[in-house]
Chain A
Amino acid sequence: MNPLAEKYLRKEFLPFLFCPGCGDGIIVHSFLKAVDELGIIDDLAMTSGIGCSAWIPVYMHADVLKVLHGRAIPAAIGLKASRPSRKVVVFSGDGDCMAIGGNHFIHAARRNIDMTVVVVNNQIYAMTGGQVAPSTGVGSRTQTTPYGNLEKPLDFCKLAIGAGATMVSRWSTAHPKELSRTFKKALNHKGFSFVEVVSQCPVQTGRYILGSGSPQFNLQWIKDNCLPAKNPAQWAELEAQGKIPVGDIMQVEKSEFMEEVARMNQQVKEAAAQGGEN
């Protein structure tokens, strides 16, 4: 067994429920590598919702709360509020986080509450058998768009930036080293960090949209289409070419929500002690 798996996975929960060729295993590995290097397994409090990617944290020997479809982020907010020293991480999918959970995502980013949200984007609802997602490309045939998808996909990174996230990155399962490095960066970032991982689903996306259920074909498709961009100009250029740019797009420092809460509480208590309100 891989030493990271030996050290961090719940053996009694194995085997994974992921299909052969799924990208989730690569993400588990990249994430645990970052956690191991930072030595923070005891501080982690992870949440997830429903979908394949929601099972990622469940296999890790850590505190994990797997809730309802779309609701991982509010659960994470409660955990963070309960004890701000926790390292709170959310694992979600494109449907879980951006369709049913989209509103929660926007408002958590807006608050700049300290947590890392990882969205595994496989461009489809995979666990339910291959239905159209907010990330599915125009024209794609899925189980619920049998004549082709009419809707334009949502750009998660731009949404995150617009909503107020203070760290935004996109990588893919073809970039495990970069992904692990970015996880480390996100876990150290004070504020709302968002990591999108473009991932392969040979069983649904591969078979129905890309035309092949072969794991090699699907990973190769990611390699061919997810290309690193060093700056915003390159990012835009790759997009114009119909490619998926990847990289650490932005990171800024802004006041973090729970620190602001602590500051406000202190002020309110001091005012009350001086015979103020109440």
Chain B
Amino acid sequence: MKKGRIKVMLGNEACAEAAILAGCRFYGGYPITPATEILEAMSRRLPLVDGLCLQMEDEIAALVAAVGASVGGTKSMTATSGPGFCLMQEAVGLAVAVEAPVVIVNVQRGGPASGQSTSTAQGDFYQARYGSNGDYSLIVLCPSTAQEMFDHTIKAFNLSERFRIPVIILSDEVVGHIREKVFIPEAEELHFVERKAPTMPMEQYLPFKAEENGVPLMAAFNSGYKVPMISQAKSLNGNRGNAKEAAENIRRIVAKVEDYMDEFAEVQVYGDENAPTAFVTFGSLCRAARSAVDMGKEIGLALRSVEVKTVWPFPDKLVRDALAGAQRIVVAEMNLGMMKREVERVIRQPEIEIELFSKIGGIYPQPQEFLRFLEGKR
């Protein structure tokens, strides 16, 4: 039994709680519905631990400042929603390029543009992966409960430190604003990962030469290593790279994540693992899908819900395994079929047509709708 306490809190507050525990000491923010409670909670909490929560002039500055603090040796984060997430995309690329660990929370709302500020949606599925320019990779986690907002925030900090990447928590309005029980373990019950710093003399340190795990050692600024960190494609010593060096640099920052997916990729199955009919869901929609599975059980209908917790890099193998034997596959999501494309790519069985249960417009579906969908087709 883990030591800790149970508190009823908003998903967004659970995120802030975990960030403080994980050692986040700088938060760059900008108010936006439905993510504002994270900024508000951090502005209350960070002064108590000698941190700084700074409301910046826009979301670009919010994430760039977080990257600056990270380079300075401080764990840092930001949170936003759709339009703010758009503004942050250039700095996602910056964090990728200088290999700065940082956590970015996107509490999704309706889009495009201002969309539906107070309504839930999952339309940033691809933006979270491909929003910035060029080839890169990062990790995207999708919580479905206030507890997972807490757990995924701890995990996000650990993964960002392990891989020196931005880690995105792709939440949504339902998860951000749900108020439910959260178990907060004592700090000693949790495992925290810290970036590895060099110990060799400065003359031998190559700031962008990878260690065996694909990740270079990270010297904080003013720690005696005099690091050149540029946002350009670079050589091992940090200078602008030639064509060969640039290509190697880009290949490595992708491989350092994608070659190590076993360390973090997560897919859960709820319900009957051998049920012929399977839902595939992520984020808040896992909740309604679970209820639908339970309701199905009551009427003798065997169902499974495959919950993709780490949507990027898309866990092809785990999803394929979780869907083994399924004859009917319904991807349920609050967009017009984004994750469906990924499932279609992964499940190449001509006899199975991947179906889409799509809900947009900001109204969260009732569990009965899942069952009616199954009845309505075939």
Contact = CB atoms under 8 A, between A and B. Distances in A.
B228 A83 contact: no
B79 interface: no
B54 A77 contact: yes
A64 B228 contact: yes
Interface string A22-50: 00000000000000000000111101000
A63 B205 CA distance: 13
Query: Which of the listed residues A77, A82, A268, A278 has the most CB atoms from chain B within 10 Å of its own CB?
Result: A82
A71 B94 CA distance: 10
A78 interface: yes
B330 to A, nearest CB: 41
A64 to B, nearest CB: 5
Given A75-B64, A75-B65, A61 B226 contact: yes
Interface in A51-71: 58, 61-68, 71
Nearest to A106: B57
A162 to B, nearest CB: 16
Contacts of A12: 237, 239
B73 interface: yes
B67 interface: yes
B331 interface: no
Interface residues of A, number: 41
Given A10-B228, A66-B229, A86 B72 contact: yes
B210 interface: no
B61 A62 contact: no
A210 interface: no
Interface in B216-272: 221-222, 224-232, 237, 239
A63 B71 CA distance: 10
Interface string B47-89: 1101010101110111011111111111010000000000000
A269 B26 contact: no
B: interface residue count bin: 35 or more
Nearest to A54: B230
Which of A44, A61, A66 is the most central at the interface, judged by chain B CB atoms within 10 Å of its CB?
A: A66
B311 interface: no
Interface in B29-58: 44-45, 47-48, 50, 52, 54, 56-58
Contacts of A76: 68
B131 to A, nearest CB: 14
Nearest to A17: B240
Given A64-B227, A107-B56, A78 B222 contact: no
Contacts of B50: 265, 269
Nearest to B235: A12
A74 B56 contact: yes
Nearest to B62: A74
B231 A68 contact: yes
A65 B229 CA distance: 5
B47 A268 contact: yes
Contacts of A189: none
> Which A-B residue pairs are the 8 nearest by beta carbons?
A78-B68, A82-B72, A78-B69, A75-B68, A74-B61, A63-B221, A78-B65, A74-B64
Interface of B: 26, 28, 44-45, 47-48, 50, 52, 54, 56-58, 60-62, 64-74, 76, 90-91, 93-94, 98, 221-222, 224-232, 237, 239
